[in-house]
Structure 1
């Protein structure tokens, strides 16, 4: 009887506290789930906004280049008439500097890559033109599978993000000649293999299993997240490696019905040699 009376007294005095804690626990679980979903949604929205801004930037770069191409085509008759005038007026010595100036302008709009895919060529040429203008050496080998199972907008976003990172890393080089960007894309069995390699002059750290630069910025990491999201969409994976001043990102994409079959531990390095 004494024991029972003690238990009764204990629960009697602490019952409101325990009931409050129980109610708080029951309420906190759905709240925590709601907060988690909300944060995930906000993060996804940030990534989508980042991708939209990136595609907008790509579009402007491509539009600028092709606007110049249209301008050259429109003015070509005038250029021919000017060259003819130099010859007719007996001023051939003025023709050579004029031709050099024309050649410089044509280099600006030269088609550096012709893979057969217009959208991919547009984004590659836009980014490589920026590298060329800055004196950054590059090597590009691209073969696009037919039919292409990757949506062009996804492929362009993927390539654009990777080349943006490579260009940014190259701009940190002591001189442009010391930088290097390599792009390799080709079908690999039933997958699409993409590798972008660049010399790097910045520090890296590992965060959530990713190698990322130590650069500050509000959108820091969203480019990497976008790359990973696209790889996951095509049941693929991303392999990032940093060694001896070289940073490489390999991306494997699989058709929707084809699960990835490449062993991550024995990745083919032929694209980086």
Structure 2
């Protein structure tokens, strides 16, 4: 988790990342001809004398347009209806004073001048959603879907078949594109002229990369599912992680360059254009569910009113998309409506920024994962609408895969934390049971002494009568012997009292008795008051673990004369300082910067970790020192409630 002072700049960098990365391809496209000096078609003709097939030639500009005519399939001599800009939607143009509909069929014609190429070439439309056929000098060079004048026979897919063609002799070459659509209205993406071998090589590389990315995304989704199932009984499980993962996975399947792979197996063979409402629905749902992911993983709460407002907002946007005529949508809303989808992200950013100090641990990682996903959605939105000449078909797949990986990582971290907390809680429970046993044993001894005192008090009358009888009879030797024997019975060894704090005293008393069994010298100078800032359970964890470790270390010494444990506790500069020193054999096990134990058992080896956790809770400090013969542990807890003093602590 980042420090609070860095949170604001990191959030701002994320916002700038979305804006810059998603819009750079659009800016490049706007200034494409200025940056590349590529020619632009004018009046149905394109001069390629300066062009090069190296990276492909974008055939944009003014094309001849033939409405409801298929020039190659149904040849006829006719003049074009008008010149149309490519890429663009034909529903933005009028014939006889009326806008063309979104659906229909048409032909585009362009004359290429000055093109010279000795290699095989092809002309195609990358990731185009409508059906089309491309002819170069009358020969078919690319096709996708089924082109027909009948709307019922039009079928669209995102895969294209490419065919190599050799340029005919001559200075001019004719490109004709026949296209048919039910809603996308024409060449909204620019055709590309390129060497056939180069295109096939790029397509092969993209296919391999696509499968690798999808495999990674699928694996990440399965991780989310498995972790959710394994943590089903835990209170910290979250359904939003696998739900968002599912939405991302389905949206990946619907990317233009990937849809054809799943068209028959997952989407029941539906035309690509027919699934466009589903794509928008998934995008709207994904954006709305970000509210719950922000709440769950970032800790930034949305009010019920905010949730309702955005639910209505997205419902209205989706209804507008469904019922607005396709022609009107293509003329005015192809960019505006998709951008309105991201209103929640803009609002969410300012909400997160205002409440950045409340962000949960790993919240910044979640935020940047969302940044990647949103960048992918915006980039894909521009790309599939023909606003980018750069081939960004893999951008959404790549960024969504990264987002899924972030979600699975967060899910794994959360699950690890849950099970680690469970292990620590189990260890704490075992420690608590041991501490209860300590206190029980100590208080059993105290209770036994109290019962002995009661027995003495009960028998005092008989004791006095016996003394009086022996005294009256002058049997003084027997009287002395009787007093000596009774003193041994009535004078049990007193239990030690080390401090005023009952919990600390019971633990110190317990270990003082246990260490005597192993011939370990025990010295204690503690002044711990009844009331402390440290809770009784936390005090038990510190003292219990420290004394247990000290006793185990002393037991390993063969010479009982050098076994000892020294405990000091008191007020030093307003802090409760606990210092425990013990002898040991000079052998320490260390790893990962911490001490390890040689003991066996499920919960052994985390004593010092538990002490450190308690000390951290109170913003105190823990320090350990060791020489060849002694080991010292010092724990400090600030802000004592009671005033008390101790001497000798350093």
Contact preservation (8 Å) 2:576, 2:640: no
Q: Of the two structures, which has the highest relative contact order with CA contacts closer than 8 Å and spacing of 6 or more? A: 1
2:207 alignment counterpart? 12
Query: Partner residue of 1:203?
Result: 587
Greater radius of gyration (CA):
2
TM-superposed deviation, 1:146: 7.8
- The answer (yes or no) to whether the contact 1:86–1:95 under 8 Å persists in 2 is no
Q: Does 1:93 align with 2:471?
A: no
Matches within 5 A, 1:174-193: 174-193=558-577
Q: Which residue of 2 aligns with 1:229?
A: 613
Q: Distance in 2 between matches of 1:146 and 1:59?
A: 16
Q: Do the aligned partners of 2:500 and 2:530 also contact (CA within 8 Å) in 1? A: no
Counterpart CA distance in 2 for 1:93 and 1:124 is 38
SS of 1:271's partner is: coil
Residue by residue, what CA displacement relative to the aligned partner does 1:153-195 show, whole Å, maximum 9, x if unpaired? 3223322222222222223332443211111111111211110
Task: Tell me the CA shift for residue 20 of structure 1.
Answer: 1.3
> Residue 539 of structure 2 corresponds to which residue in structure 1?
155
**Conserved? CA contact 1:172–1:202, under 8 Å:** no
Q: Check conservation: 2:578, 2:636, Cα contact below 8 A.
A: yes
Preserved contact between residue 236 and residue 252 of structure 1 (Cα < 8 Å): yes
SS in 2 for 1:42: helix
Which has the higher mean CA deviation after the structures are superposed, 69-78 or 185-194?
69-78
- Kept in 2, the 8 Å contact 1:198–1:248? The answer is yes
Matched, 1:69 2:449: yes
Structure 1 unpaired stretches of 5+: 258-269
Q: Distance in 1 between matches of 2:209 and 2:505?
A: 73
The secondary structure found in structure 1 opposite 2:649 is: helix
Report 1:81-160 matches (<5 A): 84=464, 87=467, 88=469, 90=475, 91=478, 92-93=480-481, 95-103=483-491, 106-107=492-493, 109-113=494-498, 115-144=499-528, 148-160=532-544
**Cα 1:37–1:152, aligned 2, differ >3 Å: closer, same or farther?**
closer
Bigger helix fraction: 1
* Contact map agreement 1:181 1:199 (CA 8 A) in 2: yes
Aligned to 1:48: 428
Deviation of 1:102 (Å): 4.0
Aligned to 1:271: 649
1:234 Cα deviation from its structure 2 partner: 0.9
The SS at the match of 1:247 is strand
TM superposition shift of 1:131 = 2.9
Q: TM-score, normalised by structure 1?
A: 0.79
CA positional deviation for 1:3: 1.5
Per-residue deviation, residues 53-85 of structure 1 (Å, max 9, x unmatched): 232222222222222122122212256467557
1:26-45 mapped onto 2 (5 Å cutoff) = 26=404, 28-45=408-425
Post-superposition offset of 1:95: 4.2
TM-score by structure 2 length? Answer: 0.36
